[in-house]
Structure 1
């Protein structure tokens, strides 16, 4: 078991010692039974957040309606939530799927009130009162598709019918929540089964901001495995699958500016790479990480690539890797040309980089300044 699991059990023991019921619940118990890596361990307790805060030294109150508090123990963080309803039974029956309705007590005993363990071994996604569960939080419908992608499970007939009937409620879900599930869905080992579910139920029609249709979804099924790829690569793939050459379609998804910039640079160099091999200058301007990502994108789209090792050797062979390694500074240039600082300085330094990277000039202060002087008419 992971360290987080052991620490979580310590949280349970502490709560029990103070007179409160407490259990590990949800995905952590499911993944324990599936022998999958456990990412997050969630805990429910009969204690209120205020009572939890008095028991543990380091806690952080979450500003939400679910009565959740973060407990920090030995550098790890656990979400501790007050049991929903009057009893654990009521709490577990209100969860989205039976496979997520399992609990584990401090003695390591599994509590299964809805045959969730049976559904895990039968590889079935089922819900107790699916219409009620999906209506409570419509994002759960997309989560069903995401679990199909991650686990490869079949969807129970009653739940599938509910997805068809209730899918229009997906339009009410905040786009930030949609995008998180969509990326997880794309990364799953059984992504194509999940995409088939989106098509068969028509759920994709209720995700207008993702700009999907049947033909475009087919493009995703031809992409290589994304499980270990960054979100930036996944969003670049998304753009290419929906026929976009830049990040414009992503701007309505409220992604971070940093993410948009990352996708933009990769798509730009991917577009160039479709016509040309990497040159020293383009590799320098791109950076090795962007270049490797572009080749990874080409690989995922079944296009011919330059082996990563070869690309790394090209990078290592560059005379410089960023402007800070340039043998001249802006101050050197100002002093040499005896001019006031202005926009021209940035252009001169860019030219100096160009000359050094393309080996028209050694990375030596005197050599660079002499080369720039010869081109002074262009400056």
Structure 2
């Protein structure tokens, strides 16, 4: 038993001495049944947040959902949620999957009304009640089912699988919650076969959410697990609307859009690689067709004479010599000059910049 679980049982017993019941629930119970160390520990309680605050001195509210709050013990945070219903069995009946519908009480006894222990042993995914109602309580559970298939190696039973297929077309959820599930799914995809399973499952979801089977034509280049950027590129294909729907921020969407276009123009010149940036280039390289040969973005980027605009030998006062409307073009011209073999020295760049401006002026007249 790790330190976090021991601390959680101490909390449960302290609360019990004051007249309230509390239980360890969810993933911590499932992980224990699987013989794994729980990553975190969630608690359900019959006491109020005010009661916990009196006992432990401090709580921190987690958003507004279900009045969930954090309590701390020995430096470990524990998420505490009020009991739903009058008994722990009522609360467990509302859980997503049978493997998660068990609890430990303060005496470390397992409360398992729906057969979680057996489900874990059989690596079976099922609902503790009606699967349709279970999914409809939180549609994000459709994505969670995919994650449990991949990350835990569990297999949905026939009833759960049929319900998933029937309801998936109506999926919708807050973008930030979808993005969180996608991020949790990524490190579990460690083979082409598992990536194909993601494509197969998400094909039942509406268009913004599914992984197109077309993307799998490049699978033989994949070095699993994919990076976060390559993963987002695989789902969004550089489409900003899809990126928004999947909860990716503006910076990620812009980087992915560049990477999506760059896939079509490989191999890249030094100037093209510089404009693209190492981050976007690396993501694009992860998804290039195998017939493009070996891709060594890091090596090529390391050999560039400049990696960032700030590497130019020009000073701010040098750029200020030119009209404001021309400064951006001047800097870009100097970057191109250096990337194509020009000397990155202040005097050389100033001379080149003045020559370029002179030519531009001549063209105007």
TM-score, normalized by length of structure 1?
A: 0.79
1:318 corresponds to 2:317: no
Change (3 A) 1:192 1:38: farther
Measured at CA, do residues 111 and 239 of structure 1 come closer, stay the same or move farther in structure 2, by a change above 3 Å?
same
1:364 to 338, 345, 357: 345
Can you list the C-alpha shifts for 1:136-175, whole angstroms capped at 9, x where unaligned? Answer: 233323432332232232222232333345446x345445
State the SS of the aligned residue for 2:71. strand
Change (3 A) 1:375 1:141: closer
Is 1:223 the counterpart of 2:219? The answer is yes
Q: 1:29 to 1:160 in 2, by over 3 A?
A: same
CA RMSD of aligned residues (A): 3.2
Pairwise CA distance, 1:45: 1.6
For 1:360 and 1:312, locate their aligned partners in 2 and report how far apart those are by CA, in whole Å. Answer: 22
Within-5 A mapping of 1:1-379: 4-5=4-5, 8-9=8-9, 11-12=11-12, 14-16=14-16, 18-35=18-35, 38-73=38-73, 76-106=76-106, 108-130=108-130, 131-167=132-168, 170-171=170-171, 173-174=173-174, 176-182=176-182, 184-185=184-185, 188-189=188-189, 190-193=194-197, 195-197=199-201, 203-204=204-205, 207-210=206-209, 216-217=212-213, 219-220=215-216, 223=219, 228-240=225-237, 246-273=239-266, 277-298=267-288, 302-308=290-296, 311-334=297-320, 337=321, 339-340=322-323, 342-361=324-343, 363-379=344-360
Counterpart Cα distance in 2 of 1:293 and 1:71: 39
Q: Provide runs of 4+ in structure 1 moved above 6 Å.
A: 224-227
Q: How far apart, in 2, do the equivalents of 1:37 and 1:303 lie?
A: 43
Deviation at 1:67, TM superposition (A): 2.2
Work out the CA distance in 2 between the residues paired with 1:83 and 1:45: 5
Q: Offset at 1:122?
A: 0.6
1:304/1:102 Cα in 2 relative to 1: closer, same or farther (>3 Å)? farther
Residues 266 and 72 (structure 1), Cα distance of their counterparts in 2 relative to 1, 3 Å cut: farther
Post-superposition Cα deviations, 1:104-149, rounded to whole Å, max 9, x if no partner, equal: 3455544322111111111111112223323323332343233223
Higher mean C-alpha deviation, range 321-330 or range 186-195: 186-195
How far apart are 1:295 and its partner, in Å?
1.6
Deviations 1:44-76 (A, max 9, x none): 122222322333344322343412112345665
What is the CA distance between 1:89 and its match in structure 2?
1.7
* Cα distance in structure 1, aligned partners of 2:255 and 2:76: 30
Structure 1 gap ranges (5+): none
Residue pair 1:58, 1:73 contacting (<8 A) in 2 also: no
Is the alpha carbon distance of 1:266 and 1:111 closer, same or farther for their aligned partners in structure 2, counting shifts above 3 Å?
same
Mapped contact 2:24–2:41 kept (Cα < 8 A): yes
Alpha-carbon separation, structure 2, partners of 1:161 and 1:87: 30
Gaps of 5+ in 2: 361-365
